[in-house]
Amino acid sequence: MTSVTVTVNGASKTHQVEPRLLLVHYLRETLSLTGTHVGCDTGQCGACTVLLDGAAVKSCSLFAVQADGRSVTTIEGLAKDGKMHAMQDAFWQEHGLQCGFCTPGMILSACEILERNPRASEAEIRTGLEGNLCRCTGYHNIVKAVQAAAQKAR
Amino acid sequence: MKNIGDPLPRVDGPAKVTGAARYAYEWQVPGMAYAVLVTSNTARGRVLEVDASAATREPGVLAVLTPQNAMRLPGPTQGEPPDRVVQALQDDRVYFSNQPVAVAVADTFERAVHAALMVRIRSEPARHTVRLEDELANAVPHDLIAGGRSIPADEARGDVARGLREADARVEQTYETPPETHNPMEPHATVAVWEAPDRLTVYDSTQWVFAVQRKLARAFAMPKENVHVIAKFVGGAFGSKGSPWSHVLLTAMAAKQVGRPVKLALMRPHMFGMVGGRPHTRQKLALGARKDGRLTALSHQSASATSRFDVFVEGCALQARHLYACPNIESKHRIVRLDIGTPTFMRAPGEASGSFALESALDELAVALDLDPLELRLKNHAEKDPIEDRPFSSKSLRACYAEGARRFGWEKRSARPRAQTREGMLVGMGMATAAYPGNFAPAQALARMNADGTALVQSGMLEVGNGAYTVMRQVAADALGLPVEKVRFDLGDSTMPEAPITAGSISTASVGSAVLLVCRALRQRLEQMGASGAASYAEVVQRAGGAPIEERSKAAPGEERKRYTMLGHGAQFAEVLVDPELGMVRVARLVGAFACGRVLNARLARSQLMGGMVWGIGMALHEHSVYDEKLGRIISRDLADYHVASNADVQSIEPILVEEEDTVVDPAGVKGMGEIGTCGAAAAIANAVFNATGRRIRSLPITPDNLL
């Protein structure tokens, strides 16, 4: 067992974990933050996307120990003071979700896209979200939601 | 007050955007153990030995279930079709590659995965075949199950041979669609908790809690009331969660054997084979027409793959029975047995694969006749069902053609292939007709008026992305005359009134009708008790003692189903750009106009249709469960190798809702929209590819190598 200390959604957490514990299972099983989903186990679907020091990463492809000393934001940490993040609100209002399973990862990836480039074009949004699959499949409204959130931030 | 038709944002939206929505695997119970499947690497034969000795010595490993030590189920593992035959370690037979042959159970997920990797399987392989062509000679007719009823394998009217002889132009071609895999984003998952030796609670990722309840009760020889199945959110399904598969029984068995609650999620590679898929099809089309375009013969013969041990028939040739006016029609279904997992219903089962063949053939006929493809379809518009010789409950296909063509700009299409280019790309336009049955199955619901004037409405359907929580609330609010905020709709629990499977575009029509009827009944009862308008409901309940007033109702199809053919219709238009040097195809635009009875919520309806249309892009260009014939196994078994449309593959998707009133189809006037967006979409794209390149691709997916 190894000790890890991770700042998750602003709060410092310390746990003894097995070195082979994946970050996604640390979040889901140890911390009960089940909004981060497991879709493919191999880094292709993006359902497990979280922000690691602000960068969108696939938490199924990282060990918990790799997050030691770093900061993780999950979907549960996006709302502030009971108020939804603009991206969350936009996904709801623009109907950028159906079954909702890809939604948390999609939202966090979208946050990072706008963080890097608040004026991302439609094509840049589509390419930026290429690593987040939606099978239902709501890509059209997802892009609209990201655009709406960008508009609001300006 | 009117809520139906309002584009109300999803009531489950906040839960889904904040991570609060709880899917099956996320239910936590103290003492939980974790199970991981071990699957076969041979496609046929017997398991001689499962060596779990090393695995069981590892710390935290609770058990490894094998064909030798797994509990014997006291009851049968299969019920009436379409319940599927499953493999629950009850014998040593291997029927397909990736079949479960052991289950590792440990106190953590990591330890269970590790144990599963350490299990050694020794098997005796037998000769297998997974190639449709190899067994085509042994194809046999088989009746189908579609929309919850049995349909004959073959139907015919007139004399197709004569119709072909009399034709001025003929198209006789074979089309092929590959095996595909549903791949919902949420892998199948089950949590099994034995509350007592004969009482089981299961959280399952399913499209039908009642099927899961029945299967478990039957297998464990318990009254069905002793099995409680809960599914509040399902992360996509598309047919793959319509039947309780092997892992559901295995999870309950594992929980029983280790004496702890057990949770199991399939890993993505496990989803290729043991939980269904769209079968490989080979379809022969023969069309004949007069010079003016009127059809004289329409023959659609389909052969689709199924497993050795169970039957699924892909209803490819069903729409040929109802879609076009033609005096001579034949429609036939054959099955071909292979050493594969049993295929199953997959979004627009039958219609998606079948419309690719039929609508491609019509496009070829249009070329042969030198007619516009849309005009050809208009010339053969069926005013009544051509085989059943009866009216449609409603049909607005002409309006779909007109509206779709106008929005798409069909008049800009050049009939000659390779005639248009844009920025170095070949531009092509194609179209196809879409049709999907207006299904309706018996459904029950309850409605309860509380003393505070709020209502609770329940039915055991599922939220799989369809928007059930939202539309049912709208239907209920309307019928009760309440604002939507005062109505709660709850679902996904086997203790609720029984609903049909949430699949086949059945659900909104059926449960919507049940909710409508039960809320009308409750309103009537409250009015009899003295209520005058919704504002007085609370007072009436309080005056009667304060206990909630409850009504239960059932909606069921009747004799009208024999008098009318019920179909939703649509028209799909595609514009593609093809790179002349690389053969890469991009779908620049998809426009689909659909008429499916009453629209309960335009926002949700549009998103269902868009989803279906994007599935058409996947079917046309990407999706293929590729078998290694020697190993008998799907080798494209993750989301890197099995390609689904990604955001960057999608450009403009425009669904159009065409108004349609249907007073016959069901009390809610609804024809479901979950599937129809996929129908015809792949054909429209393939026809556009022909228009762009002059190359007719009759086998999907259309990959660049086909166009070079």
Residue with tokens 């464990």: B220
Active site residue B383: no
CA distance between the termini of chain B: 59
CATH of the domain at B471: 3.30.365.10
Q: Which residue of B has its CA nearest to A143?
A: B647
Closest CA to B650 of A22, A84, A122: A122
Domain that holds residue B506: 447-553
> Are both B498 and B595 inside the same structural domain?
no
Mean pLDDT of chain B: 97
Q: Could you say which of A25, A75, A102 has the minimum Cβ distance to residue B185?
A: A102
Q: What percent of chain B has pLDDT over 70?
A: 100
| C-alpha separations of A35 from A108, A130, B34 in Å | 11, 21, 19
Query: Given pLDDT bands bounded at 50, 70 and 90, which one contains residue A153?
Result: confident
Question: Total structural domains in chain B?
Answer: 3
> Residue B82 has what pLDDT?
82
pLDDT for B469-521, tens place per residue? 999 999 999 999 999 999 999 999 999 999 999 998 999 999 999 999 999 99
Cα B29 to Cα B278: distance, rounded to the nearest angstrom: 35
> Are both B418 and B323 inside the same structural domain?
yes
Query: Is B13 inside any structural domain?
Result: no
Burial class of residue B487, CB neighbours in 10 A (0-12, 13-18, 19+): buried
ipTM: 0.98
> Are both B202 and B302 inside the same structural domain?
no
* Structure tokens belonging to residue B410: 């069909």
- Write down how long chain A is: 154
**Is the dihedral angle over the CA atoms B373, B375, B379, B381 positive or is it negative?**
positive
Closest CA to B246 of B389, B134, B78: B78
pLDDT for B653-705, tens place per residue? 999 999 999 999 999 999 999 999 999 999 999 999 999 999 999 999 999 99
Q: Domain A2-75 classified CATH 3.10.20.30?
A: yes
> Residue B147 has what pLDDT?
78
* Structure tokens belonging to residue B92: 């040593």
The residues, any chain, with a CB within 8 Å of residue A116's CB and separated by 6 or more, are: none
> Residue B6 has what pLDDT?
83
Domain boundaries, chain A: 2-75, 86-153
> Residue A60 has what pLDDT?
97
> Are both B476 and B347 inside the same structural domain?
no
Q: Which residues pair with B489 in a beta bridge?
A: B457
CATH of the domain spanning A86-153: 1.10.150.120
To which H or E segment does residue B617 belong?
helix B602-617
Cα B393 to Cα B53: distance, rounded to the nearest angstrom: 64
Catalytic pick from B314, B364, B498, B675?
A: B675
- Write down how long chain B is: 708
pLDDT for B266-296, tens place per residue? 999 999 999 999 999 999 999 999 999 999 9
Q: Which residues, numbered 36 to 65 in chain A, qualify as contacts with chain B under a Cβ-Cβ cut-off of 8 Å? A: 36-42, 44-45, 47
Specify the 3-state DSSP secondary structure of B309.
Answer: coil
> Are both B481 and B500 inside the same structural domain?
yes
Query: Using the beta-carbon criterion (under 8 Å), do B17 and A88 form an inter-chain contact?
Result: yes
Cα B195 to Cα B193: distance, rounded to the nearest angstrom: 6
Q: Are B202 and B212 in contact (CB under 8 A)?
A: yes
> Residue B484 has what pLDDT?
95
Mutate: best of B185, B606, B636, B646, partner A, most A CBs <10 A: B185
Longest C-alpha distance within chain A, in Å?
Answer: 47
Q: Which residues of A touch B23 (CB under 8 A)?
A: 34, 37, 101
Q: How far is A142 from chain B (nearest CA, A)?
A: 9
Q: Which residue of B has its CA nearest to A140?
A: B653
Cα B300 to Cα B328: distance, rounded to the nearest angstrom: 11
Closest CA to B654 of B681, B635, B690, B682: B681
Query: Is B544 inside any structural domain?
Result: yes
pLDDT for B426-451, tens place per residue? 999 999 999 999 999 999 999 999 99
Query: Using the beta-carbon criterion (under 8 Å), do B645 and A141 form an inter-chain contact?
Result: no
- B643 torsion bin: left (phi>0), alpha (psi -120 to 50), beta (else): beta
CATH of the domain at B252: 3.90.1170.50
B348 vs A: CB within 8 A: no
Query: Using the beta-carbon criterion (under 8 Å), do B186 and A101 form an inter-chain contact?
Result: yes
pLDDT for A30-83, tens place per residue? 999 999 999 998 999 999 999 999 999 999 999 999 999 999 999 999 999 989
Count each helix (H run) and each strand (E run) in chain A, helices first. Answer: 5, 5
> Are both B163 and B44 inside the same structural domain?
no
Query: Using the beta-carbon criterion (under 8 Å), do B17 and A103 form an inter-chain contact?
Result: yes
Query: Is B661 inside any structural domain?
Result: yes
> Are both B223 and B370 inside the same structural domain?
no
> Are both B579 and B698 inside the same structural domain?
yes
Query: Using the beta-carbon criterion (under 8 Å), do A138 and B604 form an inter-chain contact?
Result: no
Query: Using the beta-carbon criterion (under 8 Å), do B18 and A75 form an inter-chain contact?
Result: yes
What is the identity of the amino acid at B670?
V
B611 vs A: CB within 8 A: yes
> Are both B47 and B140 inside the same structural domain?
no
Q: Which residues, numbered 5 to 64 in chain B, qualify as contacts with chain A under a Cβ-Cβ cut-off of 8 Å? A: 9-10, 12-23, 25-26, 28
Mutate: best of B17, B270, B347, partner A, most A CBs <10 A: B17
- B655 torsion bin: left (phi>0), alpha (psi -120 to 50), beta (else): beta
Query: Is B282 inside any structural domain?
Result: yes
Query: Using the beta-carbon criterion (under 8 Å), do A93 and B9 form an inter-chain contact?
Result: yes
pLDDT for A75-114, tens place per residue? 999 999 989 999 999 999 999 999 999 999 999 999 999 9
> Is the per-residue pLDDT at B194 higher than 70?
yes
Q: Which residues pair with B189 in a beta bridge?
A: B265
Cα B586 to Cα A70: distance, rounded to the nearest angstrom: 41
Give the Cβ contact number of residue B565 at 10 Å: 21
Query: Is B218 inside any structural domain?
Result: yes
> Is the per-residue pLDDT at B1 higher than 60?
no
> Are both B702 and B632 inside the same structural domain?
yes
> Are both B481 and B362 inside the same structural domain?
no
To which H or E segment does residue B407 belong?
helix B397-408
Phi first, then psi: give them for residue B334, nearest 5 degrees.
-125, 150
pLDDT for B16-52, tens place per residue? 999 999 999 999 999 999 999 999 999 999 999 999 9
A15 vs B: CB within 8 A: no
> Residue B4 has what pLDDT?
82
> Are both B406 and B502 inside the same structural domain?
no
- A24 torsion bin: left (phi>0), alpha (psi -120 to 50), beta (else): alpha
Query: Given pLDDT bands bounded at 50, 70 and 90, which one contains residue B331?
Result: very high
Specify the 3-state DSSP secondary structure of B705.
Answer: helix
Residue with tokens 């179209």: B431
DSSP letter for A80, please.
B
> Residue B163 has what pLDDT?
98
> Residue B80 has what pLDDT?
84
Closest CA to B315 of B82, B642, B573, B617: B82
Three-state DSSP string of B60-84: CEEEEECCCCCCCCCCCCCCCCCCC
What is the identity of the amino acid at B210?
F
Query: Is B227 inside any structural domain?
Result: yes
Mutate: best of A139, A141, A143, partner B, most B CBs <10 A: A139
Q: Are strands B61-65 and B100-106 parallel, antiparallel or unpaired?
A: antiparallel
Closest CA to B374 of B403, B347, B335, B339: B403
